[in-house]
């Protein structure tokens, strides 16, 4: 009887874990204060890990334009700086925020610098990667071949892992907190915008 109860409890626990929502997570803002993802319930979200000294850093301009275009319709971007890729997000939260606002006039929410892979990864990123794994780089983008070669040298099996591959990977979340798409850094902003439009 005890064994049966243990098995039942295990299934219940796994079920609860499997059904967890983006809104179950809490993150830190630039000042280190807790922010519940429930605050963004009902919005379409684009969650992105960023860096200030990356070849993809100019994407901040595209992201800000996207934010300004759709923010009034219930869309926002959540920016998580990360220094795990080429050490390309140096500096404090304040320095990163100042760089973004001065150079790209970013207005969307920016959070505490985090890890998105490894043993110290932020729990929200473990969730995002579990919901949307890596599906490959855009073959039409010339940067993809170079990125594939670099990744393959580091890990020949990288394509079969859900890890974030580089800065400016993006996750699209609908109004119910469901992670519906993952975009790699080479995916065009037009492709992302088209899907956002279907949700708003």
100 is catalytic: no
SS3 state at 168:
coil
pLDDT at 20: 80
Does pLDDT of 134 surpass 50? yes
Per-residue pLDDT band for 1 (boundaries 50, 70, 90) equals low
Residue ranges of the domains in the chain? 21-199
Instruction: From 103, 2, 100, 101, select the one nearest 51 (Cα to Cα).
Output: 100
Give the phi and the psi of residue 134 in degrees, each rounded to 5: -75, 130
CA–CA distance, 142 with 147 (Å, rounded to integer)? 9
Among the listed residues 30, 35, 54, 126, the single catalytic one is: 54
User: What is the mean pLDDT of the segment spanning 85-101?
Assistant: 94
**Percent of the chain surpassing pLDDT 70:** 90
pTM of the model: 0.89
Which residues in 54-65 are b (16+ Cβ under 10 Å) and which e? bebbebbebbbe
Q: What is the CATH number of domain 21-199?
A: 3.40.30.10
Task: Please give the average per-residue pLDDT across 43-68, as a whole number.
Answer: 97
């Amino acid at each position: 009887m005890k064994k049966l109860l243990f098995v039942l409890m295990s299934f219940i626990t796994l079920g609860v874990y499997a059904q967890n929502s983006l809104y179950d997570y809490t993150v830190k803002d630039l000042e280190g204060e807790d922010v519940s993802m429930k605050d963004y319930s009902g919005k379409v979200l684009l969650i992105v890990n960023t860096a200030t000294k990356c070849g993809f850093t100019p994407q901040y301009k595209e992201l800000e334009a996207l934010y300004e275009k759709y923010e009034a319709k219930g869309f926002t971007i959540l920016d998580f700086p990360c220094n795990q890729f080429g050490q390309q997000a140096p500096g404090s939260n304040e320095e990163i925020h100042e760089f973004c606002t001065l150079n790209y006039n970013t207005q969307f929410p920016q959070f505490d610098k985090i890890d998105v892979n490894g043993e110290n990864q932020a729990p929200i990123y473990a969730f995002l990667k579990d919901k949307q794994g890596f599906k490959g780089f855009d073959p039409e983008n010339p940067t993809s071949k170079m990125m594939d070669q670099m990744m393959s040298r580091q890990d020949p099996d990288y394509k079969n892992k859900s890890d974030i591959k580089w800065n400016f990977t993006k996750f699209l979340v609908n109004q119910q907190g469901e992670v519906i798409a993952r975009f790699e850094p080479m995916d065009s902003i037009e492709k992302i915008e088209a899907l956002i439009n279907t949700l708003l």
